[in-house]
């Protein structure tokens, strides 16, 4: 079972450079918490303080009744046994097999016989799906497998607190999704307290019970997942929704001139995206710390962004902002005789400026129940607007754009058949009146 971790007034500096000051938070026992922040804000430094590798200038870290910064080396050695750590690159010994890497903490810190060690190592390797890789060296397996091997090693002493230092760094989105599911499953199985340092926004939005954000040498906010995902605090909103508008710049913070230019432009912040459902364990049984969707929002009288908690069974107390659109075939007008128009002819109801060459795209499309579906059951993701140049000028060759080269030439309007927003291709797929997957944004 996990243990509560309380941090009070923690301050750290290296020379004259202040990393952060007066950081206060509580990691609830048995829950998953995520710590976010721009690069260079001291997230990994914070993890090193939790295990006593670094000492703060002032402040306290309570693990039970032990104050980590003020422990003797002997007592600190015992407290560290409560922790398991997954480092960014796995930190495996390159000359040892995966089995020996995972067995190392047991041989170093316990007096167990080799038979007992083997049982424990194989149990942990099986938990992370590496039971068949025991004889391989770290250089002979993929990056994702090395992460899982490092996680198995972090689990062998049955720690009460597990720290993850950017577990998804260097992994593709699919492996990241598998790793996230593994983390949720392990939390349910072990009941340990998890703290994840990450830059992956999808991980932060779907995995944890709590989220914290470090910014400008302070803890900007820490609390339940739904509190931060519905927050209008500028830095929290900007970071969790990956937006350019806000106080964070290419460096840690924007200077006064950049902020003044944004204010003068008067651009409104995009609407908050829907809050997704929290990732559940594979067996479908909620974790003990997992709260029903929208419960925190209802308790505090906050209306969630439209479309939040999609997939939840609708009901009178459902926090979702509105009913999901009814499923059904795409509406498409046809000639009175019910026949598809011949190639080169425009079907009834199609935009007048659509070229005849698109007629083939206007044939009847399969009904939704006939369309291929993702084997994992995920719906089509929203289509997002392409990233622009940052100063309102389309890049050369962009649909509907100006500039030298590309469609239309310098300073000219795009050809009529190209449309005014470059979306004719999508309209061709939907009979002229489709908008793409739910949540897609063009402007």
Q: Where are the domains of the chain?
A: 1-82+159-250+265-320, 347-443
Residue of 390, 389, 393 whose CA lies nearest to 402: 393
User: What pLDDT, on a 0 to 100 scale, did the predictor assign at position 421?
Assistant: 53
Residue of 229, 201, 210, 194 whose CA lies nearest to 86: 194
Contact 437, 380 (CB under 8 A): yes
Measured between alpha carbons, how far is 430 from 432 in angstroms, rounded to an integer?
6
User: What pLDDT, on a 0 to 100 scale, did the predictor assign at position 375?
Assistant: 45
Record: fold of 1-82+159-250+265-320: Rossmann fold (3.40.50)
Contact 286, 280 (CB under 8 A): yes
User: What pLDDT, on a 0 to 100 scale, did the predictor assign at position 432?
Assistant: 54
Tokens in use for 122? 């194989």
Residue of 303, 330, 333, 332 whose CA lies nearest to 318: 303
* H or E element that contains 430: none
Q: Is the whole model's pTM more than 0.85, yes or no?
A: no
Residue of 222, 372, 200, 212 whose CA lies nearest to 279: 200
User: What pLDDT, on a 0 to 100 scale, did the predictor assign at position 386?
Assistant: 63
User: What pLDDT, on a 0 to 100 scale, did the predictor assign at position 397?
Assistant: 52
Query: Which residues, given as ranges, of the chain have pLDDT below 50?
Result: 313-377, 400-419, 443
Tokens in use for 352? 């007048």
φ/ψ of residue 8, rounded to 5: -130, 120
Measured between alpha carbons, how far is 389 from 110 in angstroms, rounded to an integer?
58
Strand partners, 12: 20
DSSP string, 34-62: EEE-STTSSHHHHHHHHTTSS--SEEEEE
φ/ψ of residue 149, rounded to 5: -65, -40
φ/ψ of residue 85, rounded to 5: -130, 130
Query: Angle at the Cα of 295 (from 294 to 297), degrees rounded to 5?
Result: 65
Taking CA atoms, 264 is separated from 11, 243, 256, in Å, by 36, 18, 12
**Alpha helix ranges (H) inside 230-382:** 234-240, 256-265, 295-299
User: What pLDDT, on a 0 to 100 scale, did the predictor assign at position 400?
Assistant: 47
Measured between alpha carbons, how far is 193 from 33 in angstroms, rounded to an integer?
8
Sign of CA dihedral 68, 72, 73, 74: negative
Tokens in use for 147? 């992460």
Neighbours of 215 (CB within 10 A): 22
């Amino acid at each position: 079972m996990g243990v509560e971790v309380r941090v009070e007034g923690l301050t750290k500096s290296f020379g004259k450079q202040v990393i952060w000051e007066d950081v206060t938070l509580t990691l609830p026992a048995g829950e998953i918490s995520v710590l976010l922040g721009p690069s260079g804000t001291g997230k990994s430094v914070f993890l090193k303080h939790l295990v006593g590798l670094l000492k703060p200038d002032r402040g306290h870290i309570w693990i039970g009744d032990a104050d980590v910064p003020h422990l003797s080396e002997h007592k600190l050695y015992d407290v560290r046994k409560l922790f398991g750590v997954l480092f960014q690159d796995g930190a495996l010994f390159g000359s040892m097999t995966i089995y020996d890497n995972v067995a190392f903490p047991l041989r170093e810190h316990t007096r167990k016989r080799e038979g007992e060690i083997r049982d424990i190592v194989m149990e942990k390797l099986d938990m992370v799906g590496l039971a068949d890789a025991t004889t391989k060296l770290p250089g002979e397996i993929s990056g994702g497998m090395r992460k899982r091997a490092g996680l198995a090693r972090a689990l062998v002493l049955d720690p009460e607190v597990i720290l993850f230092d950017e577990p998804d760094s260097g992994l593709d989105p699919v492996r990241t999704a598998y790793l996230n599911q593994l983390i949720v499953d392990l939390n349910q199985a072990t009941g340990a307290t998890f703290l994840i340092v990450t830059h992956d926004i999808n991980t932060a939005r779907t995995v944890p019970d709590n989220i914290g954000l470090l910014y400008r040498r302070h803890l900007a906010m820490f609390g339940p997942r739904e509190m931060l995902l519905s927050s209008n605090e500028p830095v929290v909103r900007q970071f969790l929704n990956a937006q350019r508008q806000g106080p964070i710049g290419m460096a840690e913070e924007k200077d006064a001139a950049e902020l003044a230019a944004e204010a003068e432009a008067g651009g409104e912040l995009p609407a908050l995206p829907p809050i997704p459902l929290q990732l559940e364990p594979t067996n479908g049984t909620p974790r003990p710390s997992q709260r029903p969707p929208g419960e925190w929002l209802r308790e505090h009288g906050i209306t969630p962004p439209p479309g939040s908690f999609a997939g939840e069974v609708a009901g009178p107390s459902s926090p979702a902002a509105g009913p999901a659109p009814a499923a059904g075939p795409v509406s498409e007008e046809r000639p009175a005789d019910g026949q598809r128009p011949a190639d080169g002819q425009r079907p009834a109801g199609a935009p007048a400026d659509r070229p005849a060459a698109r007629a083939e795209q206007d044939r009847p499309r399969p009904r939704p129940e006939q369309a291929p579906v993702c084997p994992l059951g995920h719906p089509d993701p929203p289509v997002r607007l392409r990233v622009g140049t940052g100063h309102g000028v389309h890049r050369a060759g962009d649909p509907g754009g100006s500039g030298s080269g590309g469609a239309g030439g310098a300073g000219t309007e795009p050809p009529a058949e190209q449309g005014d927003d470059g979306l004719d291709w999508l309209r061709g797929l939907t009979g002229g009146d489709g908008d793409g997957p739910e949540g897609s944004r063009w402007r």
